[in-house]
């Protein structure tokens, strides 16, 4: 057994332990904490799987923002968490569920073991066409050229989720700002962090977007960091969420997707196909789209964490 495999084994065991903890924990808070740890461990797995782009995304979104969201919900729901054990399904029932889950897992595991060797891959093809896109990071090429449609839709999905979250506002608060994220008890150290970290974070985020064209990184990762910085300042009480009816909020939210769509449509005339880039401009357009999307995605992520409007419009 090589050292690497031993490490992988240890990692797998830890992840499974965290997963079991997350499922089995008696109350919600430790479960969520377990989930965040699980997300961070997964980041390591992604590194082990030679997927640094995914690792960045997982760390930023899977562990980070999802964790913030879930922890926030946990603390807000703590008062209402019923201790009811009677609602839980009976033991035989849970055994039946467990049995079927095991069967499903076993089926997937069997397929994993039986996978063809050598595995079919698009890596050579992606590499061969990479020069056409001008970028150096194949993942970015996939996201913004080969499968640009998915990315375009994904930005629409984020916006749509935001519309969905907003639609849950009480009518009287429509157009107002989401509830403040600031902790109930103001804390000096947090506001210090809120002042020190964001400049660094924003630089880091921009850097990740910028290198994304050629090295691991990209808009979602960078945007998440920038978004997280925003959330941090809001939590530190240094900023309040903006009112959602303000025009600039809307414009920032929509700009990224709209720009992407516009470039895609322009491709009809300039490059002969929707979402195609004209020769020689591919890289610059891709970077431009990434930048535009970064801002919008960061704003969307921040507002998704902030939740629906909960304060009346200031007049």
Q: Which parts of 272-301 interact with another protein (CB under 8 A)?
A: 272-277, 279-280, 282, 301
Q: Of 31 and 291, which CB lies nearer to another protein in the complex structure?
A: 31
Residue burial 201-237, b: 16+ Cβ < 10 Å; e: rest: bbebbeebbbbbbeebbbbbbbbbbbbbbbbbbbbbb
Query: Judged by CB, which is closer to another protein: 102, or 214?
Result: 102
Residues 82-141 that bind another protein (CB under 8 A): 84, 87-89, 93-94, 96-98, 100-116, 119-129, 131-132, 134, 138-139, 141
**Residue from 304, 291, 224, 216 nearest 61 by CA:** 224
Nearer to another protein, 214 or 268 (CB): 268
Q: What does the alpha-carbon distance between residue 85 and residue 82 come to, in Å, rounded to a whole number? A: 9
10 binds another protein (CB under 8 A): no
Q: Which of 267, 259, 243, 244 is nearest to 296 (CA)?
A: 259
CB of 198 to another protein, least distance (A): 12
Compute φ and ψ for 164, nearest 5 degrees.
Answer: -60, -45
Of residues 186 through 245, those in contact with another protein by CB under 8 A are 187, 189-190, 192-193, 196-197, 200, 218, 220, 245
How many residues of this chain bind another protein (CB under 8 A)? Answer: 153
Which 52-71 residues touch another protein, going by CB under 8 A?
A: 53-54, 57-58, 61-62, 65-66, 69-70
DSSP summary character for residue 187: -
Asked whether the bond before 118 is cis by omega within 30 degrees of 0, the reply is yes
Closest separation in Å from C-beta 275 to another protein: 4
Residues numbered 146 to 185 that lie near another protein (CB under 8 A) are 146-154, 156-161, 163-171, 174-175, 183, 185
Q: How far is the CB of 314 from another protein (least distance, A)?
A: 15
Instruction: For residue 182, give Cα distances in angstroms to 145, 191, 295.
Output: 40, 10, 23
**CA distance linking residue 103 with residue 107, whole number of Å:** 6
């Amino acid at each position: 057994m090589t050292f690497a495999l031993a490490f992988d084994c240890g990692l797998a065991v830890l992840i499974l332990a965290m997963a079991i903890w997350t499922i089995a924990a008696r109350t919600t808070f430790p479960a969520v904490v377990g989930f965040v740890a699980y997300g961070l461990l997964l980041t390591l797995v992604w590194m082990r799987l030679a997927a640094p782009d995914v690792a960045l995304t997982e760390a930023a979104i899977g562990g980070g923002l999802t964790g913030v969201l879930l922890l926030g919900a946990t603390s807000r729901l703590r008062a209402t968490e019923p201790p009811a054990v009677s609602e839980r399904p009976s033991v035989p029932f849970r055994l039946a569920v467990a049995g079927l889950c095991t069967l499903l897992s076993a089926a997937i595991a069997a397929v994993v073991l039986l996978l063809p060797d050598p595995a079919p891959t698009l890596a050579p093809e992606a590499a061969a066409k990479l020069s056409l896109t001008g970028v150096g990071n194949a993942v970015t090429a996939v996201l913004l050229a080969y499968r640009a449609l998915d990315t375009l839709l994904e930005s629409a999905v984020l916006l749509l989720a935001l519309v969905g979250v907003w639609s849950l506002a009480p009518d009287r608060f429509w157009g107002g700002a989401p509830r403040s994220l600031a902790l109930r008890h103001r804390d000096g150290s947090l506001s210090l962090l809120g002042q020190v970290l964001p400049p660094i974070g924003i630089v880091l985020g921009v850097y990740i977007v910028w290198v994304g064209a050629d090295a691991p990184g990209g808009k979602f990762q960078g945007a998440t960091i920038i978004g997280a910085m925003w959330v941090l300042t809001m939590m530190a009480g240094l900023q309040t969420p903006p009112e959602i009816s303000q025009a600039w909020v809307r414009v920032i939210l929509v700009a990224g997707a709209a720009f992407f769509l516009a470039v895609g449509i322009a491709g009809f005339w300039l490059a002969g196909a929707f979402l195609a880039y004209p020769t020689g401009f591919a890289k610059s357009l891709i970077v431009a789209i990434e930048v535009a999307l970064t801002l919008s995605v960061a704003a969307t992520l921040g507002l998704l964490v902030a939740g629906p409007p909960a304060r009346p419009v200031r007049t």
